[in-house]
Amino acid sequence: MKGWKGDTVKAALEGFIVNFRRGPKTQKADELIVEIPEVNSRAKASPLIGRKVLLKLSEEKTIVGKVVSTHGGKGRLRVRLRKGLPGQLLTTRVRIV
């Protein structure tokens, strides 16, 4: 499928939120660890860096983020959001476009 100026349009992927990015004593509410079931290695996850992440809360409200890096060797992604999330949204589905 061709997009604007002949670029290839990539299909959207579905994933879910695993946890917040955290350290031994801190937790960042605006950075998340996201897992995509089809991606299981760092090599498969690295081309997704820079893509947008959409978290749809309701019909009107969508939170937008960006994939900033991989996390670990199992293909998980580190996503930075514009707003922080409450803990109730862990394990929620997200779209990577």
At 64-79, the pLDDT tens digits run: 999 999 999 999 999 9
Domains of the chain (ranges, CATH numbers): 7-96 (2.40.10.190)
What does the pLDDT read at residue 93? 93
Q: Which residues contact 25 (CB under 8 A, 6 or more apart)?
A: none
What does the pLDDT read at residue 10? 67
Phi, psi for residue 81 in degrees, rounded to 5: -100, 160
pTM for the model stands at 0.82
Mind listing the pLDDT tens digit for each residue in 28-49?
A: 888 999 999 999 999 999 999 9
Q: Which residue has the tokens 């960042």?
A: 28
Q: Which residues contact 10 (CB under 8 A, 6 or more apart)?
A: 51
